[in-house]
Amino acid sequence: MSRRSVAHQAPPEQPRTVQYDHSAIDNMYRRRAVRAFQGERLDEFTIRRLLDAAVQAPTAVHAEPWAFVIVQDPLLLKRLSDRGKAAALEAAAEHHDLLKAPGAAPAQDLSAVLANPEFNIFYNAGTLIVICARPLTAFVTADCWLAAENLMLAACAMGLGTCCIGLSVPLLNTPEVKQELGIPPEGAAVAPIIVGIPEGPAARVPRKAPEILRWIR
Residues 6+ apart with CB under 8 A from 210: none
Do residues 211 and 102 touch, judged by C-beta distance below 8 A? no
**Cβ neighbours, 10 Å, residue 108:** 9
Residues 6+ apart with CB under 8 A from 145: 190, 191
User: For residue range 129-146, what is the model confidence (pLDDT) as tens digits?
Assistant: 999 998 767 789 999 999
Residue 90 has pLDDT above 80, yes or no: no
* Mean pLDDT of the chain, nearest integer: 83
Q: Could you tell me the residue ranges of all domains in the chain?
A: 17-196
* Partners of 48 in the β-ladder: none
Predicted confidence at residue 117, as pLDDT, reads 83
Predicted confidence at residue 81, as pLDDT, reads 95
What is the CATH number that goes with domain 17-196? Answer: 3.40.109.10
Binned at pLDDT 50, 70 and 90, residue 102 comes out as very low
Binned at pLDDT 50, 70 and 90, residue 15 comes out as low
Residue 112 has pLDDT above 60, yes or no: yes
Do residues 122 and 81 touch, judged by C-beta distance below 8 A? yes
Residues 6+ apart with CB under 8 A from 36: 123, 198, 199, 200
pTM equals 0.81
Torsional class of 31: left (φ above 0), alpha (ψ -120 to 50), beta (otherwise): beta
Per-residue DSSP letters for 180-206? Answer: HHT--TT-EEEEEEEEE-BSSPPPP--
Mean pLDDT of all residues in 178-190: 95
Binned at pLDDT 50, 70 and 90, residue 151 comes out as very high
Binned at pLDDT 50, 70 and 90, residue 9 comes out as very low
**Does 30 or 8 have the greater pLDDT score?**
30
